[in-house]
Structure 1
Amino acid sequence: MTLYNTLALRSGRRGVAADVPVVLAGSLLLVLSAKFQVPFFPVPMSMQTFVAIGLGLALGPVRGALAVALYLAQGAAGFPVFAGTPERGLGLAYMMGPTGGFLIGFVLAALVAGFLARRGFDRRPATAMAAALLAGAVIYVPGLLWLGAVIGWDKPVLALGLYPFIPGDIAKALLAAIAFPAAWKWLSARGVA
């Protein structure tokens, strides 16, 4: 059971009428996370991967993936939702660029994190961190394959698309290891979980 399922069951609000606003809010949270960067070495870090993984952990695989897919649909429609896009979004042109595979990876990450959350991985720090690291690693599969196809395999694909982001991914997994078990503990203390 995920955090969302637990809260929905407790409140009695279930079904499409309850899910639609939550999925929409998740997609908007991804928009916000794309627009803010945290200074980090060796490259600045956005919180998009944390939010994509967090949506899976909190909402489960289906709702989490739907929130990410809605975010991608907004971007494809030309809304300026992606990191570094101008006020008028670039739509599919941006998605077909070097970061397109990573964007698709966000959907996969939400699915993996959601499946792990259903199995209780988000309830203890060690397993929450493992879930976040695994879900984060999934992002790199389509991301690096797409990056290599776009820029050419003769370029240092791993040096451009993986190595600089590992420290940030570890930091985000640590954050998930703190945040999600704390949320469960908070709910448990109030008799909700």
Structure 2
Amino acid sequence: MNHILSLNSPLQSIFWSKTNTLPKQILLIVAGVMLLALSAHISIPLQPVPLTFQSATVVFVGMAYGARLGAFTLTTYLIAGLIGLPVFADTESHLVFGPTAGYLIGFLPAAALSGYLAQKGWARTIIRSFIASCLGASVIFLCGVTVLSQFVGLHQAIAFGLMPFIITEPMKLFTTSLIVPKLWKK
């Protein structure tokens, strides 16, 4: 039975048969949202953009779930945050409309792009997985710096919204790239 969420992705077939069932997909979405929420709360409180594991987790979810299910998972995550569930890094300040909103906005296209690249074979080796991860994370940072620049100017947005992550982000993405190819070999 095909559902709107169905698409060939590795994580769907690891725990269950390749038959796409709605309960299985809902469970994967809930698990993805919980993983994203957890990654948001593991952070180093830099200002104005905290260092979290969200971007690497967004890319991981996209690459593990595939483009469509990854996008549905990120949409669910963003809706959960919009309605007030404590899934974002800073649940007190309603970041959805603040200086860091661009990073959240970038999550959805980043997961879709990463998932698409994974489905096209970019998740089968560590190197290609790393490149796909970097492309997905670039979408997040492009959106994030663009919105942040509206609040603090472009120079400051780059200085505070990109530069602190130049070393840490590739390390997180490389870790993701070590895991993802194992999922696609199942």
State the match for 2:168 in structure 1.
Answer: 168
1:47 aligns with 2:48: no
State the match for 1:159 in structure 2.
Answer: 159
Cα distance, 1:132–1:154 mapped onto 2, change above 3 Å: closer
Look up the equivalent residue of 2:84 and give its one-letter code. G
Cα distance, 1:144–1:61 mapped onto 2, change above 3 Å: same
- Number of aligned pairs? 177
Matches within 5 A, 1:89-108: 90=93, 93-108=94-109
What do residues 135-159 of structure 1 show as CA deviations (whole Å, max 9, x unaligned)?
A: 000112221111112x142651100
| CA–CA separation in structure 2 for the residues paired with 1:122 and 1:154 | 33
Query: Offset at 1:66?
Result: 1.2
Cα distance, 1:79–1:112 mapped onto 2, change above 3 Å: same
Cα distance, 1:39–1:106 mapped onto 2, change above 3 Å: same
State the match for 2:40 in structure 1.
Answer: 34
User: Could you tell me whether the CA contact under 8 Å between 2:102 and 2:144 is conserved in 1?
Assistant: yes
Query: Offset at 1:173?
Result: 1.8
TM-score (norm 2): 0.85
| CA–CA separation in structure 2 for the residues paired with 1:180 and 1:95 | 29
Cα RMSD between the aligned structures? 2.3
Cα distance, 1:46–1:180 mapped onto 2, change above 3 Å: same
Question: Runs of 5+ in structure 2 lacking a partner?
Answer: 1-7
Look up the equivalent residue of 2:68 and give its one-letter code. V
| CA–CA separation in structure 1 for the residues paired with 2:19 and 2:133 | 28
State the match for 1:69 in structure 2.
Answer: 75
- 3-state SS of 1:119 partner: helix
Query: Offset at 1:50?
Result: 1.1
| CA–CA separation in structure 1 for the residues paired with 2:154 and 2:106 | 23
Query: Offset at 1:166?
Result: 1.6
Q: Of residues 2, 6, 10 in structure 2, which corresponds to 1:3?
A: 10
Look up the equivalent residue of 1:54 and give its one-letter code. F
Consecutive aligned runs of 4 or more in structure 1 exceeding 4 Å deviation: none
Look up the equivalent residue of 2:124 and give its one-letter code. R
- 3-state SS of 1:83 partner: coil
State the match for 1:191 in structure 2.
Answer: none
| CA–CA separation in structure 2 for the residues paired with 1:155 and 1:177 | 31
| CA–CA separation in structure 2 for the residues paired with 1:101 and 1:84 | 14
Look up the equivalent residue of 1:52 and give its one-letter code. V
| CA–CA separation in structure 2 for the residues paired with 1:180 and 1:71 | 21
Query: Offset at 1:13?
Result: 3.7
What do residues 89-108 of structure 1 show as CA deviations (whole Å, max 9, x unaligned)?
A: x5xx3210111010011111
| CA–CA separation in structure 1 for the residues paired with 2:50 and 2:145 | 19
State the match for 1:190 in structure 2.
Answer: none
Greater Rg over alpha carbons, structure: 1
Q: Of residues 38, 60, 63 in structure 2, which corresponds to 1:57?
A: 63
